[in-house]
Amino acid sequence: MLHIQNYVNGYLIPPQSGRYLDNMEPATGQVYGQIPDSGPADVAAAVAAAEAALPAWRALPAEERGRLLVKIADLIDAKLERLAQAESQDNGKPLSLARVMDIPRAASNFHFFGTAAEHFATEAHLQEGIALNYTVRHPIGVVGCISPWNLPLYLFTWKIAPALAVGCCVVAKPSEITPATAFMLSELCIEAGLPPGVLNIIHGTGPSCGQAIVEHPGIKAISFTGGTTTGRHLARTAAPLFKKLSLELGGKNPNLIFADCDLATAVATSIRSSFANQGQICLCGSRIFIERPVYEAFKAEFLRQLKAQVVGDPLEAATTQGALVSQAHLQKVLAYIKLAHEEGGRLLAGGRRVSVPGRCADGYFLEPTVFENLPPNCRTNQEEIFGPVVTLTPFDTEEEVLAWANSTDYGLSATIWTTNLTRAHRLAQSLHSGIVWVNTWLHRDLRTPFGGMKNSGVGREGGLEALRFFTEAQNVCVKL
C-alpha cells in the first residue's frame, strides 16, 4: 500500500486533519494507496515554511540554485525506471510511454530551467546622454503550482522548476488522482539537499487543498494547468486578490490533412496525435479534417494502422493503449461516444469498453474510437472529450477548413500536413492556436512559448516566458 505524505519545510508529514483519501490504480480498478486529505491548515503551514525559506533562497546566486535543480534532474534520471512504473500504475498509461516521455521530460524540465537561470538577463534602455533605464526582475515571492493528472510529473515539474530557478519558493499540489510521482519527487528533493521550505508539496482535493492555495494571501502567483471550468473558477477567486495567473487549460485541436502531404507520415503521426496516452493529452488532435481527394485513402490507412493498437495491461511491453485515468473519466468519455451516435456519427472503429483478462479485469479500458459524418459544429466536434475519440471530416477548400478549425471556443494547438510551404505559413498565421505544428506533432523545444488562445488559457509557459512569469519587473531610471 502506497502511503503518501505531505512535504512541508523539508519533512514528510501527515495532514493536520489526519484524514486520507483512497488512491486508485486505473488498470485494476482497485485501491492501492492513500493520500493526505489536506486543507487550509496544511497550506498555511506550507506557505509559512516557504516564506521563511524565501530570503535565503532568493539571495543564493542563480548558479547555485541551478546546480541544485540539475542535481534533482540527475536523481530523476537515476530513478527513471521506478518513477516510470509509479506513473504507469497511478495513471494507467503504458509503462513504455512513461519511460520515454513522462519521466525523461520531468528530468529535462529541471535541467533546462536549472541551467537557464544563469542565462536569464535583464534589459537596459539607454536614452543617449539623457537617462539609462534598466529592468530588475525580482522573484515574485511564494507561488502556487497546481497540475492535472494526465502527465503528472511532467507538468508538475514544468511549473515548479522555473519558479525555483528564478528564486521563488513554491507550494505545489499535484492532482489528487495521480499523486505518486509528486510524492517521490519530495523524497528526491530531500536527497538532493534542497533547503527546507523552498518547495512544499501538499496533497488533497481541488476544492479543499487547491482552493486554499489560490485563496492564501501569502501566495503571489498561481501557475495552473487543468480544465477550462476549473480555470474560470480560479480566475474568479484570484482576480480580486490581484494575483498573477498563468492558466493552461483545455483544447479541441484540429489536425489538417492536405492532399499534397506525405500521407504515410501524416497517418502514422495522426495515430499518435489521436491516441497517445489514451487521447488524454491536451495537445491531441481530436478533429481530423482531410482534403477530399485523399479522404478515402487517409481513412483506409488510418483504420488499418489503428488495428495495430493494443489495449491492455499498461505494464505489458506490447500495450499501446492503457487504462483511462478513472471510472468517472471513462463514464464521461463513454457519454460522449453515445452523444456522437445521437448526433448522427458513423462509427468506423472502437466505441466500447474493453475487458482485459487477469489482474486488469476491472480496469478502465476503452477501444480507440473513430467517427465520421459529424458536422463541425456539433457538440462532439466542439467540446473537449479528452479521451481516445476522434472524428474524420472531409473538406474542399482552405477557407472552409480554416473556418472549421477556428470554430471552437478553444485555441491550444493545431497541426497542418502539407508540402506547400506557402500554404503552411499562411494557414499558421490564421489559425487561432497558441501552438501550430507543420508536418509534425508534439515536437517540443523547451525554449518556445507554450500555451493557448481563447478558452485554452491565459499566458504562456516555457523558456523566458516562464521565468518572467515568476518575477516582478521593476524599472530603475537613472538621469545621466
Q: How far apart are CA 161 and CA 114, in angstroms?
A: 7
Q: Are 99 and 224 in contact (CB under 8 A)?
A: no
Decide: is 463 part of the binding site for ligand NAD (CB under 6 A): no
Give residues 393-412 in contact with ligand NAD (rule: CB under 6 A).
412
Interface of this chain with ligand NAD, residues 153 to 172, rule: CB under 6 A: 155
E-assigned strand segments in 219-361:
219-225, 244-248, 254-257, 287-291, 346-349, 353-354
Select the residue interacting with ligand NAD from 67, 99, 233, 332 (CB under 6 A). Answer: 233
Our finding on whether 414 is near ligand NAD (CB under 6 A) is no
Nearest approach in angstroms of CB 462 to ligand NAD is 10
Q: How far is the CB of 374 from ligand NAD (least distance, A)?
A: 20
Kindly give the pairing relationship between strand 199-201 and strand 2-3: unpaired
Half-sphere exposure of 479 (CA within 13 A, CB side): 0
> Would you say 253 or 418 has its CB closer to ligand NAD?
253
Q: Which range of residues in 103-111, 207-215, 286-294, 314-322 is near ligand NAD by CB under 6 A?
A: 207-215
User: Minimum Å distance from CB 473 to ligand NAD?
Assistant: 24
Nearer to ligand NAD, 249 or 288 (CB): 249
Minimum CB separation of residue 332 from ligand NAD in Å reads 10
Q: Which residue has the cell 523552498?
A: 198
Per-residue mark of binding to ligand NAD, 418-457 (x: CB under 6 A): ----------------------------------x---xx
Beta carbon of residue 477, minimum distance to ligand NAD (angstroms, whole number): 37
Q: Should residue 227 be labelled a site residue for ligand NAD when binding is judged by CB under 6 A?
A: yes
> Would strands 244-248 and 457-458 be described as parallel, antiparallel, or unpaired?
antiparallel
The enclosing H or E element of 275 equals helix 263-275
Q: Which window, 42-50, 108-116, 202-210, 343-351, contacts ligand NAD (CB under 6 A)?
A: 202-210
Residue with nearest beta carbon to ligand NAD: 206
Q: How far apart are CA 114 and CA 107, in angstroms?
A: 10
* CA–CA separation, 455 and 433 (whole Å): 11
**Closest to 7 measured CA to CA, from 140, 149, 167, 156:** 156
- Judged by beta carbon, residue 5 or residue 418, the one nearer ligand NAD is 5
Confirm or reject binding of residue 387 to ligand NAD (CB under 6 A): no
Please check whether residue 457 is in contact with residue 231, taking contact to mean a CB–CB distance below 8 angstroms: yes
Helices 263-275 and 295-306 pack at an angle, to 10 degrees, of: 50
The order of strands in the sheet holding 346-349 is: 346-349, 369-372, 389-395, 287-291, 254-257, 413-417, 435-438
Angle, helices 103-116/80-91, rounded to nearest 10 degrees: 120
> Measured between alpha carbons, how far is 274 from 280 in angstroms, rounded to an integer?
9
Q: Tell whether residue 214 is a contact of ligand NAD (CB under 6 A).
A: yes
Q: Three-class SS of residue 139? A: strand
Residue 234 lies near ligand NAD (rule: CB under 6 A): yes
Q: How far is the CB of 243 from ligand NAD (least distance, A)?
A: 12
Separation between Cα atoms, residue 19 and residue 228, nearest integer Å: 29
Task: Note whether 35 and 184 are within 8 A (CB).
Answer: no
**Smallest distance from ligand NAD to CB 84, Å:** 19
Size of the site for ligand NAD (CB under 6 A): 32
- Which x/- pattern, by CB under 6 A, does the window 123-152 give for ligand NAD? -----------------------xxxxx--
Of 334, 380, 384, 389, which lies in the binding site for ligand NAD, with binding defined by CB under 6 A? 384
Binding site for ligand NAD (CB under 6 A): 146-150, 155, 173, 175-176, 205-207, 210-211, 214, 225-227, 230, 233-234, 248-251, 282, 384, 386, 412, 452, 456-457
